[in-house]
Amino acid sequence: MHKNFQFLFFFDASLILGKLNSFKNKGGVFKERTAVRELIREGDSIKGVILESGKIYSEAVVNAAGPWSKFLAESVQLELPIVSVREQDSIWEFRTKKGMPNSPVANQIEATYMRPMTDRRWLLGRGYPKDYYECDPYNFKESGDEEFLDDLYKRCCERIPGLQGSKMINSYASLYDVTPDWIPFVGPRDGIRGYFDASGGSGHAFKTGPIFARELAEWITKDKVKDDFRQFSFDRIKNNQMFNQSFGGNRV
């Protein structure tokens, strides 16, 4: 594996505020809010990406486009069985702090979670078990459903009566990118050079993202990977080594 790489990252600058200058100083190229339309394939190798402004070539291409990773993979005839699932959250303002917890709460009984914000406001959401609905990542409702919000409010008030009389400030919906076993695809694949998966994090990538990124960087630049991390590769499908775990829609 080659040691010299041109690393190209395409995502919102707000996600890497503290790291951006260091990244640039080490030779990184950063393109903010730049749409990648397709990957470039030559035989059994992925050679780069196609932007609106033209082509960029690189020795390593990491497909980390979340719910849209599937479409980039399909642009070069690569299978990527990821579905998009719509997830809803809401912001509520409470009348009083009396009887309220002062830390995030994951309530497995009513299947809810809560996170304190500021000014007597809390984020409320639903956890498993619940129904999951696939949607089109290019066309989905971005606000909460009235039926969902009513049910969520009742569940939270059942556990914390002090929530009664709260005012909903906002609701929104975003996307999970979900693999068949609810575990991300991370790493290279057999039979295709220059391509690396990094998608399918469902609702957990905000926690696992940093360690996955560090291990993947080692895999790309040094061809060095731990045996247990190698299991996250897409190749686990053909090797019949899918994960069985205890969260998301793949509970056993």
Task: Show the domains of the chain with their CATH numbers.
Answer: 8-82+180-236 (3.50.50.60), 84-176 (3.30.9.10)
Inter-CA distances, 44 with 60, 231, 242, Å: 13, 22, 25
Q: Give the chain's mean pLDDT.
A: 89
In the DSSP assignment, the letter for residue 230 is H
Three-state SS at 87: strand
| Confidence (pLDDT) at 247 | 58
| Mean pLDDT to the nearest integer, 36-44 | 97
What is the per-residue pLDDT across 44-99, written as a single tens digit (0 to 9) for each?
999 999 999 999 999 999 999 999 999 999 999 999 999 999 999 999 998 876 77
Q: Which two tokens stand for residue 184?
A: 């991300």
Q: What do you get for the CA distance between the two ends of the chain, in Å?
A: 39
What is the per-residue pLDDT across 210-244, written as a single tens digit (0 to 9) for each?
899 999 999 999 999 999 999 999 999 999 999 98
pLDDT at 11 over 60: no
